[in-house]
Structure 1
Amino acid sequence: MDKGILGEAPQLPLATTVVIFGATGDLSQKKLLPSLFRLYQDGFLPQKFAIVGCSRTPHTDESFRRIVENNLKDINKNINTSWLEKFLTYLYFCPVNIVEKESFQGLANKLEELNNKYKVDFARIFYLATAPRFFSKAAEHLSACVSSREANDILVVEKPFGNDVYSARELNKELLHYFDEDQIFRIDHYLGKETVQNILMLRFANSIFEPLWNHHFIKCIQITVAESVGVGGRGSYFDKAGIVRDMVQNHILQMLSLVCMEPPVRLSSPNSIRDEKVKVLRSLRRLDEKYIIENSVRGQYTEGFILGEKVCGYREEKGVAKDSITETFAALKVEIDNWRWAGVPILIRVGKRLPKKITEISLHFKEIPKSLFKAQEFANISENILAISVQPNEGINLQLNSKAPGVEVKMRSIIMDFSYGASFGLRLPDAYERLLLDAMRRDPTLFTRSDEIEEAWEFLQPLLELWSTEEKAPLYYYSAGSWGPPEASEIARKAGQAWRKL
C-alpha cells in the first residue's frame, strides 16, 4: 500500500458504505464509480464495503448494476470482467427524492439491512453528487432519518459551494446545523491531482528549493488554467457563474495557497496544512475598485477555430443568453502582503476556448545580479523558471542556462524535465481515487474547510460585484483558439512581466 500525503503509513479505511446521491448522473458514472472500481481492483477498499446508489429514478439493485457495468465497459474496453463482476455484487440501489423526508426512511432501512447482511456496523459516506440547491435539504433529512453527529459518518459536498460570500456563509451555517465541521468534506478535485499534492513534497522535502522560495529570489508567479473546450452542455450553469466562480475561487486559489503557504507546524495534523492555507488567503491584498480596474481583464470568446475545426462563439452556445456579459476568460494580478511574498506579482490567467488544455504553475526567478559574459553572449541568457505542470502531462521542469556544444562560448536555454509517467512508469490515479480513499480514511487534509471557502469568496467578492455590469469594467472579446483578448497582455506588462508561452 502506498503512503499518504503526510508521508506516513496511511490509516486503513474502516468498513464503509458509500451512499451516492445522484448516482445515475454524469459525475457518478464518469468519475465516482470508475474511481471506486479502480480502488477495489488495486486493493485499497476495505474488506467489507458497500455502495448504495440513490436517485429519484426507481431502479432495482440489479438494474443499477447493469447501468454501472455498461458504463464501466464503455470507459474501459479492456476491463477485467472477473474483477468487474465481483465489484458489482457490492452495489445496491435505493430510490430517494431529496426534497421528500419520507423517502430517507427507506434509505435508513436499506443501510440497516446492509449492516445485518455484512455483520458489521458500517461507517457511512454520504456523497452529494447533486445540484447545490439540494445540499441543505439532503443534510437536514439525513440528520433526521439516517445519520447523527455521534455516528462515524461524513458528508461529501461537491463544488460549487455557494456563488458568492453571502451564499457560502449561509450554506456553511445550514450544513453545520446538522453535521460537525470534521464531518463535512468539501471536495475540490484539483487537490487530488498528483502534481498539486507534490507541491508540498517539492517545497518541504528538498533543501535546494525552500531557501529560494521567497521575494528575494522569485520575481513573479504565474498560474495558467487553459481549456480548449467551450461550455458544452453546461451553458445554463456557466452563464450564471462565469470563469471566476467556476475556476478561480476554488481550484486556482487552492493551488496558490499551497505554493505560497508557510511551512506547517506539523504534517501529522490535517489542520496544520489548512491553517497555513487560510493565512495565505487572509494575506491576499484586498481588491478595491481602482485595483480591479487596473489589474484585471475579462473576456468572452467569439467564433474561431480549435485544431482546425470551426467552433461557435459563447453567445451561440446552448443555454447562454444572447446578450450575456459572463466572462469565459480572466486575467488578473494578485499580491500577498506578507514578508515572504511582498512585492511579488502573482499573475492568474484562466479561460475557455484557448489553444490548448494545460494547467501550469510557474515560478520565475530573478536575473543574475551581474553578467560575467560579453553583451552579445548575455543576450541569450533566459530567466530561470520552475514550472509545475498539473495537467495534462503531470510533471516538473526547470529552465536553466547552459553552454551550447561547440568551440565557441554560446549560451543556450535548456530544460531539466521530470515526468510522472516516464519516471515512475505507473498509472496515475484519478484525482477522485485519492479523494475518495482519503474520505474513507477520514483524512480531511485535501478537502477544504469552511473558513477556506469563505475567505476565498470574500477576497473575490468586490471583483464579482464590479464585473456584474459593464459600467466600469468592460468585457473584451477574443477569437476561439487564441490566448484571450489582447488587453490581457497589459496585466502582465504593467507588472513588468510577460505571459509565459505554453
Structure 2
Amino acid sequence: MSLIQTNFTEAPPAPPNVMIIFGAGGDLTRRKLIPALFHLSAAGLLPKGFAMLGLDRLDLDDQAFRERIAGQVEDSLGAAFDRRVWEGLVSRIHYMQIDMLEGADYERLCERLSEIDAERGTNGNYLFYLAVPPSLFGPVTDRLGDVGLLHQSEHDWRRVIIEKPFGRDLESAIALNTSMHRNMDEDQIYRIDHYLGKETVQNIMVFRFANSFFEPVWNRNHIDHVQITVAESVGVEHRGAYYEEAGALRDMIPNHLLVLLGFLAMEPPSSFQAEAVRIEINKVLDAIKPLTPEEVLTHAVRGQYDAGTMPNGEKVPAYRASPGVNPKSFTDTYAALKLTMDNWRWAGVPFYLRTGKRLAAHYTEVAIQFKRAPTIMFKHTDVDELAPDMVVLRIQPNEGIQMSFGAKIPGPTMQVGSVNMDFCYEDYFGNRPATGYETLIYDCMNGDATLFKHADTVEKGWEIVQSVTDVWAALPPRDFPNYAAGSWGPCAAGDLTKRDGRMWRRIAVPKARIAAEPG
C-alpha cells in the first residue's frame, strides 16, 4: 500500500531488502537518500531485514564510510537528528569500492551481497539506486545483468531506480528505454521524480476525487485556465556544464511540469493502482496538442538571466558568468509554454507552464482559475466586475491549498471583495521532516510504481516539447540575457498570457521580497 493512501505511522514496514546505491559518495546520497532512510527508520518503516550498501570509487571500508557520512547527515537533518535512530541505522550501512565499468567488480558485488543477505536476513531482495550520470545507466545495468543481479524469481525481487534526466530528447529517451529493457522488464524500472514525493502532488488526486463538490466543476465548462509555476531562486551553481546541455525546458518541463499537469487533468482512474493511474496520465499527454513550428513563436517563451539583485539584497552574476558556462551561451534558464488539449474535458482551456532559475522566490504552485460569474444581477450596484474564483495548490514551500472567492464587503452598499481560505499541511498534520524521497523509496521497496514514470510517459513528454526544442535550436535568441536575476522572468512571458486577455498570477511572497511580474 502506497503512502498516498495511508499515514506514515499506520503503514507496515517494507519487506526485507538491500538498498544498493551507486554513487554513494555523491551529493544526492548525502543530502537526500540517507536522510530519507533515517526518516523511514524513525517511522518504523524499514524492516529488521534491511541493509544499505554504498558503492563508489572512494577507497573506504564500512567504518570509514560511516564516519564520513555521520557528520554530513547530522548537518542535513538539523533538529530532526536523533542519535538513537541514527545508531540503529548506521550499523546497517555498508560500503564497497567499485569501478562501475569493470565487470570483475560486479562479481565481487555478488559475493558481498550474498554475505549481507546471510548477515542481515534480506532474502535476496535488491533495490539498486543509480545516483550516477545518465551516461552510466546503460553500462551499469548491462553489467548487473551480466552477473545475474537483475534476475528475479518468485522468491525474490530486483528493482532499479534511476534519476532524471531520462534522455535529452525523444530519440535519446527511446534509446535509454531500449538500453534498460535489455536487462529488465518495465515493472523492474522505477524512474524517480522527487516532485511526486511531495504531499500536495499526491493530494491532487484525493482533492479531486474524494470531494464531490470539486469534480463536477473540474472541466472546460467552469475552468477558464490553469497555471503551473515552478520557480527557483537559485542559479545553476556548480551545474553549469550539465545545464549547458539541458536548459530550463529540457530540465523541467518534460519531467516535473508535465507530470503535474497529468495528475491535474486526468480522468478518474479505476483505482489508485499504478497501472490504472499511469493509463490516465498517458491519456492526458496524448491529448496535448503538439505545437507547430509557427505556434512555437507565439506559444513558447525562453529566457536567460542576467546579473541582478535578489530580493534579499544579494547581488548575483549572470548565467554566462557561471563556472562551466559558455560566455556567449544561448542556453535557456527560463521557459514558458501555452498548451491546449484535444479532449472533451479540457477543450479550449489553456494550460500555462513556466519555470526558471534566479527568479524572485523559490516557489511551486498550480493555480486553477474559474470562469467569472455573470454580473447581470449586479447591474444596479457598484459592482462592475466580479473577480474570478481560484484554487491554488501550493507544492513548495509551505505545502497547502488556497481558495479565493467573492464575499460582500460589510457596509450599506453592495460591494464584493475576494477572500481567501487557506489550508496548510503543517497546521493540520504537523511538520513531519521529509526530503521528498521517503514515500518514493518506501513505495519502490513495496513494488508500488504509482508515483514513478513509465517508459511511455517519458517518451510522450519528450514528444510534446520536441517541436519547441527544434525551433529554438534553429533560431538562436537575439536578446539573451533578457531578464534580471531576482525578477519573475522576461517580459515576453507576460505577452504569452496577455494575448489571451489573461495574466500570470502574482505569487504571494513577503512584501520585502516582492519583485515585478512580467506583464
Give the TM bin, normalised by the shorter chain. over 0.9
* DSSP 3-state at the match of 1:282: helix
Quote the Cα distance in structure 2 between the aligned partners of 1:221 and 1:466.
25
- The amino acid that maps onto 1:273 is V
Q: Deviations over 1:190-243 (max 9, x none)?
A: 111100000000000000110000000001000111111111111110111000
Does residue 454 of the first structure (1) align with residue 459 of the second (2)? Answer: yes
Q: Which residue is 1:91 aligned to?
A: 93
The TM-score with structure 1 as length reference comes to 0.96
* DSSP 3-state at the match of 2:233: coil
* DSSP 3-state at the match of 2:245: helix
Q: Give the CA deviation at 1:12.
A: 4.5
Q: Give the CA deviation at 1:138.
A: 0.6
Quote the Cα distance in structure 2 between the aligned partners of 1:19 and 1:490.
48
Aligned partners of 2:17 and 2:122 also within 8 Å: no
Q: Which residue is 1:362 aligned to?
A: 367
- The amino acid that maps onto 1:301 is Y
Aligned partners of 2:3 and 2:439 also within 8 Å: no
Quote the Cα distance in structure 1 between the aligned partners of 2:371 and 2:304.
34
Q: Give the CA deviation at 1:378.
A: 2.0
Alignment counterpart, residue 212 of structure 1, candidates 212, 217, 240? 217
Quote the Cα distance in structure 2 between the aligned partners of 1:36 and 1:436.
8
Aligned partners of 2:35 and 2:77 also within 8 Å: no
Alignment counterpart, residue 134 of structure 2, candidates 126, 132, 135? 132
Alignment counterpart, residue 292 of structure 1, candidates 296, 300, 303? 296
Q: Where do residues 181-330 of structure 1 align in structure 2 (5 Å cutoff)?
A: 181-267=186-272, 269-306=273-310, 307-330=312-335
Aligned partners of 1:219 and 1:366 also within 8 Å: yes
Q: Which residue is 2:472 aligned to?
A: 467
**5+ residue gaps in structure 2?**
508-519
Of all paired residues, the percent bearing the same amino acid is: 39
Quote the Cα distance in structure 2 between the aligned partners of 1:173 and 1:99.
19
Greater shift after overlay, 374-383 or 46-55? Answer: 374-383
Q: Give the CA deviation at 1:168.
A: 0.5
Quote the Cα distance in structure 2 between the aligned partners of 1:326 and 1:216.
39
* DSSP 3-state at the match of 1:320: coil
Quote the Cα distance in structure 1 between the aligned partners of 2:217 and 2:134.
42
Does residue 440 of the first structure (1) align with residue 445 of the second (2)? Answer: yes
Quote the Cα distance in structure 1 between the aligned partners of 2:305 and 2:477.
20
Aligned partners of 1:157 and 1:186 also within 8 Å: yes
Aligned partners of 1:11 and 1:441 also within 8 Å: no
Q: Give the CA deviation at 1:370.
A: 3.5
Quote the Cα distance in structure 1 between the aligned partners of 2:148 and 2:39.
28
The TM-score with structure 2 as length reference comes to 0.93
Greater shift after overlay, 430-439 or 464-473? Answer: 464-473
May I ask how many residue pairs the two structures share in their alignment? 500
Q: Give the CA deviation at 1:119.
A: 4.0
Q: Give the CA deviation at 1:366.
A: 0.4
**5+ residue gaps in structure 1?**
none
* DSSP 3-state at the match of 1:372: helix
Aligned partners of 2:339 and 2:352 also within 8 Å: yes
Q: Where do residues 142-153 of structure 1 align in structure 2 (5 Å cutoff)?
A: 142-151=144-153, 152-153=157-158
Q: Deviations over 1:84-117 (max 9, x none)?
A: 1221100001111111111111111110001111
- The amino acid that maps onto 1:214 is N
- The amino acid that maps onto 1:92 is H
* DSSP 3-state at the match of 2:451: coil
Greater shift after overlay, 271-280 or 366-375? Answer: 366-375
Q: CA RMSD in A?
A: 1.7
Aligned partners of 1:244 and 1:330 also within 8 Å: yes
Q: Which residue is 2:516 aligned to?
A: none
Q: Which residue is 1:82 aligned to?
A: 84
Q: Deviations over 1:399-445 (max 9, x none)?
A: 11111233443221100110001122241533101101111111000
Alignment counterpart, residue 345 of structure 2, candidates 335, 340, 345? 340
Greater shift after overlay, 488-497 or 200-209? Answer: 488-497
Q: Deviations over 1:227-260 (max 9, x none)?
A: 1111111111011100011111100000000000
* DSSP 3-state at the match of 1:487: helix
Q: Give the CA deviation at 1:148.
A: 3.1
Q: Deviations over 1:370-390 (max 9, x none)?
A: 442246632363110100000
Alignment counterpart, residue 170 of structure 2, candidates 162, 165, 182? 165
Quote the Cα distance in structure 2 between the aligned partners of 1:3 and 1:283.
28
Quote the Cα distance in structure 1 between the aligned partners of 2:478 and 2:15.
52
Q: Which residue is 2:408 aligned to?
A: 403
The 1:290–1:475 alpha-carbon spacing in structure 2 relative to 1, beyond 3 Å, is farther
Q: Give the CA deviation at 1:125.
A: 0.2
